[in-house]
Structure 1
C-alpha cells in the first residue's frame, strides 16, 4: 500500500504519462468525498464508508485528471474524468482551507450538483498549488503564482483567511468542448469529436 506522498505522486505521474506522454502533473491531491471527515466516526462512519469515494485529482499543464483511488492499495485506478482547464476553473467553488481537513467543491461532469472533496492537511500544500494554478489562468507551475494586481489574474494570497477567490462567471479563456462530448473511457484520455484537448 502506498503511504508516502512522494510514492503516490510518482504513481499518479506514471499513470498520466502512460496515457498522455506529452503532459506532466503540476499538483496532485488525494480527496475523500462526502461530509466532513469529522462527522464520519463510529457507527455513522461505517455507514458513510458505503457512500464516500476516494479520488486523486491532478492539475496538469493542459487538463484536470481525476483518477479513482483503490481503497486497498491506495494506488490510482481508472481515469474517471479529463476536464479542460477552462471548464475546471468554472467547476471549482467553495474552497476552504482549514487546520486539519480542508475542502473544495467540484462540479463533476454528469453530476447534478458539485461534489464536496475533503483534503487532509498532508496534501494542503498541493491543494494550494492546485487552486492557485487553476484559478491563476496559466499552467500552475509550483512557485509561479499570479502576482497581486496583475490584470485579469487572481491575487497570490487569498483575500479572506481560509478561502480562495472564485473564478468569475465569464472568465477570459478560450472556449472548450463541453464535458458531455468527452467519453469517459478508462485507460486513455477521452477525445472530443474532431478535437484533441492536448493540441492547440
Structure 2
C-alpha cells in the first residue's frame, strides 16, 4: 500500500504509461474522492450505520494531467493503487463546472461520462501543489466571475 504521494504518483504513471501514446509527458497527478464533504465524517461517527453507508458510497480517483489530455482513473479503496482508466478528456476540454479551493479540503465538480450530473470530487490539502497544477487547465472551462465595474472617477480640479 502506497502512502507517500511520490509513490502513488509513480504507480499512476506506471499504470498510464502502458496505455499512453509515446512522448506523453505527465505533469500532475491528484488523488480525490467523491461524495459529500469529508468534514462530515466527524458527524457520521455519531451515527455509525450512516457513516458506513457514506464510506461505502465514496469512490476514489486519480486525475492525471499530461501535455495533451486529462486522464481520470479509479483508485482502490483500501490500497490506493490506481485502477482502470475511467475516462480521458482533451486538455482544453476538461469538463469542470465549479472549483472551490479550501484550506484543507478543496472540491470541484466534474462532468464524468458515467453520471448524469456533475460529480463532486474532494481533494485534500496534501495534494495542493498538484491540484494547483491541474487547475491551470480549468480557467478556460469555468466562466469568469463578473467583477463590478469601477465607478467613474472625476478628476480633481
Q: Distance in 1 between matches of 2:35 and 2:101?
A: 16
1:101 aligns with 2:105: yes
Query: 2:138 aligns to what?
Result: 135
1:72 aligns with 2:75: no
Q: Distance in 2 between matches of 1:55 and 1:36?
A: 16
Q: Would you say the 8 A contact 1:39–1:45 is kept in 2?
A: no
Which portions of structure 1, spanning 4 or more consecutive aligned residues, are displaced by more than 4 angstroms?
Answer: none
User: Unaligned 5+ residue runs, structure 2?
Assistant: 145-157
Q: Distance in 2 between matches of 1:136 and 1:116?
A: 18
Q: Distance in 2 between matches of 1:128 and 1:69?
A: 21
Query: 2:62 aligns to what?
Result: 56
Q: Would you say the 8 A contact 1:135–1:167 is kept in 2?
A: no
1:12 aligns with 2:18: no
Change (3 A) 1:48 1:59: same
- Structure showing the higher strand proportion among its residues: 2
Count how many residue pairs are aligned between Structure 1 and Structure 2: 138
Q: TM-score, normalised to structure 1's length? A: 0.64
- Structure showing the higher helix proportion among its residues: 2
Q: Distance in 2 between matches of 1:97 and 1:109?
A: 24
Query: 1:193 aligns to what?
Result: none
User: Unaligned 5+ residue runs, structure 1?
Assistant: 138-164, 169-200
Tell me the alpha carbon deviations over residues 40-68 of structure 1, each in whole angstroms, 9 at most, x when there is no partner: 33223211012110000111111111111
CA RMSD for the aligned pairs? 1.7
Query: 1:158 aligns to what?
Result: none
Q: Distance in 2 between matches of 1:122 and 1:45?
A: 23
CA drift at 1:167? 4.3
